[in-house]
Chains A and B, each alone.
Chain A
């Protein structure tokens, strides 16, 4: 019986990992092309949640979940063009400071617009409740969430590996100078990647709003987890991030099973161990640009 309970936690952890993935993958992508950690990533996640709640009041849940990430992705374009672009070649600390500042500004703006108190975010009634697969219990809503994550993951992989767009992006990550020498301007590609990453964060926010508290500091909460996942997986590695997200979800679930008080600490311990044994992260590659 104990083994079954444990297995149930592992499966549940994989589902949870899928949700971390949505945020962490965008963070990792933006890092790969821009060379800096976008600390404002959580702010776009929070905006996605708030906008979807607001749009949902007028159009209902489903259109809101589709529209909100689109709107935030466009904000992401403005963010890249006006701000992020200026820091690509610069000292990474500058990009960190600017995006951190932006995160603070965004959090305060949300506080002013919607107030400090968390706002209710309804879940569509048809998605509520549990689904029993054999003896495993799942939330119907989270199974739907998992399906969305898998679709996004497949789409992104296809985009990066199988299209000419993806080839330029990958080449740009490895050898930007070479790409430039071939006469390809990288800037539009960078804009597109930031738009995608930010849109994914907003999608995560919109999808997670009915599950968790929608409050001004939700962005700051998620950026820590997303960053831990990216570091464990290896900065810039697609499959590393996927692996790390699932691992963090599972380790957290199993820890809570045995020692609930240590649940939130488990991912930091995991990060510590991984960095001790393998400083570049699980699947991190040596990226010439950064070494």
Chain B
């Protein structure tokens, strides 16, 4: 373990050896990190969890002496929208002197920050945005992606739907969030459903600020589908699920995106169907149990998947900074591209693919527990086994190189 004192000593020795004057330029005592995530708007609730998770990680790391003896100093801000995200990311680099960027949930804002990172040649760990295009056509060599891309979410929920017999030969109706992420998700979902013999009977775009779904529910009833599959995001999912239960439509529902916070907000008795997730608080590994306990102790509630992913993302950065002995962009890129393994508090470790900078990790489907089985208001979700199965390579659920247009 290197302490701050060691670093100072080494620096002083090096300076002395080169015959520098007595005033030594040492590394600053803190590592400034620019963290951007939506804290308002339809993804604001998720961003709130992201900040809680990343703060917990920073405090744990700092309590243990920081990284290379330097304290981590997080600057977390509301990214609001792509335009504001661009301005803030640029300002964080120029004025606040952050050494690298982290964060995001909104795919459109993530894309904007990726461009800022590339322009300034700064490292960006893109945490929570899931559009395929970010690690596909729009990829760049300064950005690495932690969360699962939409193709993986479609695969995780889709495999469960196949087992339930809800795909082959079935007529399905879809609702799609009308922005970058939703369109991307819809594309992946369409491809999966078509490849497995489902018939698409309707697809409606839903603006991100929609709160009343009744006109859409009428259209679903008119279409009489065998399955309603949603490609919605954030608050939209909660609103849709609540109102679907309110109108009592008989068709089974499923979706290719649902964050745990949105599921909790819908409440027991409203949520139904099959959904994918990247992590959940009941995951039975020593690492996850310890994280959940620490999070509950500090915030009085269980962590949501965006709290988890922000927590492990900072731990990933700490490991990389320690390994490369600094925050040099090129060295960090080299380390991540070396397929170094990272502990994600899951059964299997993850690694970043060198050619599209995507973290490869397990995903999980989930359904809803039968009525009356929930222990408390956080407990009504029934999590399924990890995909892919333990005997299969992790990459089987990720888009292969042949389907990905990423060129660094």
Q: Which residues of A contact B (CB under 8 A)?
A: 5, 8-9, 12-13, 15-16, 115-123, 125, 128-130, 137, 139, 141-142, 210-217, 221, 252-253, 256-257, 260-261, 263-265
**Residues 262-285 of B contacting A (Cβ, < 8 Å):** 262, 264-270
| Residue among B212, B235, B242, B261 with max Cβ neighbours from chain A (10 Å) | B212
Q: Is B192 part of the binding interface, using a Cβ–Cβ cutoff of 8 Å? A: no
Report the separation of the CA atoms of residues A257 and B219 in the bound assembly, to the nearest whole angstrom.
7
Report the separation of the CA atoms of residues A129 and B40 in the bound assembly, to the nearest whole angstrom.
32
B215 and A252: CB pair below 8 A?
A: yes
Chain A proximity of B209: nearest CB distance (Å): 6
**Residues 376-403 of B contacting A (Cβ, < 8 Å):** 377
Q: Which residues of B contact A (CB under 8 A)?
A: 39-41, 44-45, 47-49, 178, 204-207, 209-212, 214-216, 218-219, 221-222, 235, 238-239, 242-243, 245-249, 261-262, 264-270, 304, 377
A9 and B218: CB pair below 8 A?
A: yes
Q: List 23 A-B pairs, Cβ < 8 Å.
A: A9-B215, A15-B214, A16-B214, A117-B45, A117-B48, A117-B264, A118-B45, A121-B267, A123-B270, A128-B245, A129-B248, A130-B247, A137-B221, A137-B247, A211-B243, A214-B265, A215-B45, A217-B41, A221-B211, A256-B219, A257-B215, A260-B216, A261-B207
CB-nearest residue of chain B relative to A1? B222
Q: Which residues of B contact A221 (CB under 8 A)?
A: 209, 211
Chain B proximity of A105: nearest CB distance (Å): 15
Report the separation of the CA atoms of residues A16 and B216 in the bound assembly, to the nearest whole angstrom.
13
CB-nearest residue of chain B relative to A214? B265
CB-nearest residue of chain A relative to B250? A130
| Residue among A116, A128, A252 with max Cβ neighbours from chain B (10 Å) | A116
B206 and A116: CB pair below 8 A?
A: no
A123-B246, A130-B247 known; A213 vs B211 contact (CB < 8 Å): yes
A210-B246, A253-B215 known; A117 vs B239 contact (CB < 8 Å): no
A211-B246, A263-B207 known; A12 vs B214 contact (CB < 8 Å): yes
Q: Which residues of A contact B248 (CB under 8 A)?
A: 128-130, 139
A9-B218, A215-B235 known; A120 vs B264 contact (CB < 8 Å): yes
Q: Which residues of B contact A123 (CB under 8 A)?
A: 242, 245-246, 270
A260 and B238: CB pair below 8 A?
A: no
A12 and B264: CB pair below 8 A?
A: no
Report the separation of the CA atoms of residues A121 and B205 in the bound assembly, to the nearest whole angstrom.
26
| Residue among A12, A15, A260 with max Cβ neighbours from chain B (10 Å) | A260
B45 and A13: CB pair below 8 A?
A: no
A128-B246, A129-B248, A264-B207 known; A118 vs B235 contact (CB < 8 Å): yes
* CB-CB nearest 4 A-B residue pairs: A120-B267, A116-B48, A118-B265, A256-B215
Q: Which residues of B contact A125 (CB under 8 A)?
A: 269
Q: Which residues of A contact B215 (CB under 8 A)?
A: 9, 12-13, 252-253, 256-257, 263
Report the separation of the CA atoms of residues A133 and B210 in the bound assembly, to the nearest whole angstrom.
27
A139-B214, A217-B44 known; A211 vs B242 contact (CB < 8 Å): yes
Q: Which residues of B contact A139 (CB under 8 A)?
A: 214, 243, 246-248
Chain B proximity of A146: nearest CB distance (Å): 12
Q: Which residues of A contact B238 (CB under 8 A)?
A: 118, 213
A120-B267, A211-B246, A260-B216 known; A5 vs B239 contact (CB < 8 Å): no
Report the separation of the CA atoms of residues A251 and B245 in the bound assembly, to the nearest whole angstrom.
25
Report the separation of the CA atoms of residues A225 and B380 in the bound assembly, to the nearest whole angstrom.
34
Report the separation of the CA atoms of residues A130 and B251 in the bound assembly, to the nearest whole angstrom.
14
A118-B238, A122-B267 known; A212 vs B211 contact (CB < 8 Å): yes
Chain B proximity of A221: nearest CB distance (Å): 6
Report the separation of the CA atoms of residues A55 and B295 in the bound assembly, to the nearest whole angstrom.
28
Q: Which residues of A contact B210 (CB under 8 A)?
A: 263-264
CB-nearest residue of chain A relative to B248? A129
Q: Which residues of B contact A12 (CB under 8 A)?
A: 214-215, 218
Chain B proximity of A228: nearest CB distance (Å): 13
Q: Which residues of B contact A252 (CB under 8 A)?
A: 215
Report the separation of the CA atoms of residues A123 and B45 in the bound assembly, to the nearest whole angstrom.
22
Q: Which residues of B contact A214 (CB under 8 A)?
A: 265
Report the separation of the CA atoms of residues A241 and B303 in the bound assembly, to the nearest whole angstrom.
44
Q: Which residues of B contact A15 (CB under 8 A)?
A: 214
Q: Which residues of A contact B48 (CB under 8 A)?
A: 115-117
CB-nearest residue of chain A relative to B299? A115
| Residue among B178, B215, B266 with max Cβ neighbours from chain A (10 Å) | B215
Q: Which residues of A contact B249 (CB under 8 A)?
A: 130
A210 and B242: CB pair below 8 A?
A: yes
A117 and B265: CB pair below 8 A?
A: yes
Q: Which residues of B contact A264 (CB under 8 A)?
A: 207, 209-210
CB-nearest residue of chain A relative to B377? A120
CB-nearest residue of chain A relative to B221? A137
A120-B267, A212-B242 known; A217 vs B40 contact (CB < 8 Å): yes
Report the separation of the CA atoms of residues A139 and B213 in the bound assembly, to the nearest whole angstrom.
12
A5 and B218: CB pair below 8 A?
A: yes
A116-B48, A212-B212, A263-B210 known; A5 vs B261 contact (CB < 8 Å): no
B235 and A213: CB pair below 8 A?
A: yes
Contacts A217-B40, A264-B210 given; 4 further ones with Cβ under 8 A?
A: A117-B49, A120-B264, A260-B216, A261-B207
